[in-house]
């Protein structure tokens, strides 16, 4: 009877260790996915910020008037 108890305890401990390793692996994968998404989000925000600055420079009053002075023949009346 003691032999079966020892085998049962070893099986339970083995299952517990396998389960723990599996949970840690899933947790590491989820952490990696989260960090990847946050970095990608930051890159997209930075790109959007640069495009917004570029658009603001193109549509600013001084930029538009400078373009009009340089190329008056392209203005449609």
Give the pLDDT of the chain (77 residues) as one tens digit per residue: 789 999 999 999 999 999 999 999 998 899 999 999 999 999 999 999 999 998 888 887 777 777 777 766 665 55
CA quadruple 47, 51, 57, 61: dihedral sign: negative
The two three-digit tokens of residue 43, written as one number? 């890159």
Q: Is there a contact between 75 and 68 (Cβ–Cβ < 8 Å)?
A: yes
The length of the chain in residues reads: 77
What are the b/e assignments for 7-30, b being 16+ CB within 10 Å? eeeeeeeeeeeeeeeeeeeeeeee
């Amino acid at each position: 009877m003691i032999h079966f108890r020892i085998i049962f305890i070893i099986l339970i401990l083995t299952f517990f260790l396998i389960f723990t390793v599996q949970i840690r692996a899933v947790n590491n994968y989820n952490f990696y996915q989260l960090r990847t998404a946050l970095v990608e989000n930051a890159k997209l925000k930075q790109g959007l910020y640069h495009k917004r600055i570029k658009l603001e420079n193109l549509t600013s009053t001084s930029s538009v008037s400078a373009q009009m002075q340089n190329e008056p023949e392209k203005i449609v009346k």
